[in-house]
Structure 1
Amino acid sequence: MSVAYWIVAGPLALFYVYAGGLKVVRSRERLRPMMSWVDSTPMRAVRAIGAVELLGALGLVLPPLTGIAPWLALVAAVGFVVLQIGATRLHLRRGERQVVLNGVLLGAGAVAVGLATTWL
């Protein structure tokens, strides 16, 4: 297991645990100040996205740590890249031009994909 993978995957997993956890437990009103898109999205979908983010974060960390199905880390990283492509499209379609965080997360996910393929 590469130290570089953990340098990228660790903070990425922490971010998604935080963001996904918020989406799962907070109300629309409490999410709105930081995620204006929740107004146009059913709360079931917001909760589902949060659950996917939480599962993806576990997928980045647990398989490499346990050695059980380490290919799941690659799947999780690819999933986060796809998620951020969709998120960026959503923000741009809504006229929101502040997509720097999405770009950073997309880049980190892509790096995690590359690093995860080196030890499979």
Structure 2
Amino acid sequence: MNFALWIAAGLLAVVALGGGVTKMFVPREKLAVAPGGGWTGDVGVGFVKTLGVLESLAAAGLILPAALGIVPVVVPVTAVCWILLMTGAMITHGRRGESAFVLLNLIYLAVAAFVAWGRFVLEPFTG
């Protein structure tokens, strides 16, 4: 189970880092015309960049605390935060009628729920 939880957290971290870097460094105008990025045209640049920073921090929070052995409880806490972020993403894409992106965000949410449950209940880091 430990291996499966590491893989799930790692995959989620890759997704978070990819989304975070994109939101931080790709111009909002370019994001707005990308598939699933239309919502960025409806919000301010600061909001998009802030989400990018939060996603990048989530990538770090899913891996580094456990890998370094420094407050590893941050891993499942980060997974819970990711669940909240994906809930917001699902609402946003749902309002825009982007059902494929709602489904994708639901998958990410489910992986995060697995990591949170696994690290809080099934196989918490001990230390």
Indicate whether the TM-score tops 0.5: yes
1:69 has 2:74 as partner: no
Cα deviation for residue 63 of structure 1 reads 0.5
1:111 has 2:114 as partner: yes
Cα deviation for residue 91 of structure 1 reads 1.3
Q: Deviations over 1:13-53 (max 9, x none)?
A: 01110111000001012212131110101110000001000
Q: TM-score, normalised by structure 2?
A: 0.89
Q: TM-score, normalised by structure 1?
A: 0.94
Q: Deviations over 1:52-78 (max 9, x none)?
A: 000011000000101100011111100
The number of aligned residues is 120
**What SS does the aligned partner of 2:71 have?**
coil
**Which AA in structure 1 matches 2:62?**
L
Unaligned runs of 5+ in 2: none
Kindly report the root-mean-square deviation, in angstroms, between the aligned alpha carbons of the 2 structures. Answer: 1.3
Distance 1:61 1:95 in 2: 33
Distance 1:66 1:96 in 2: 39
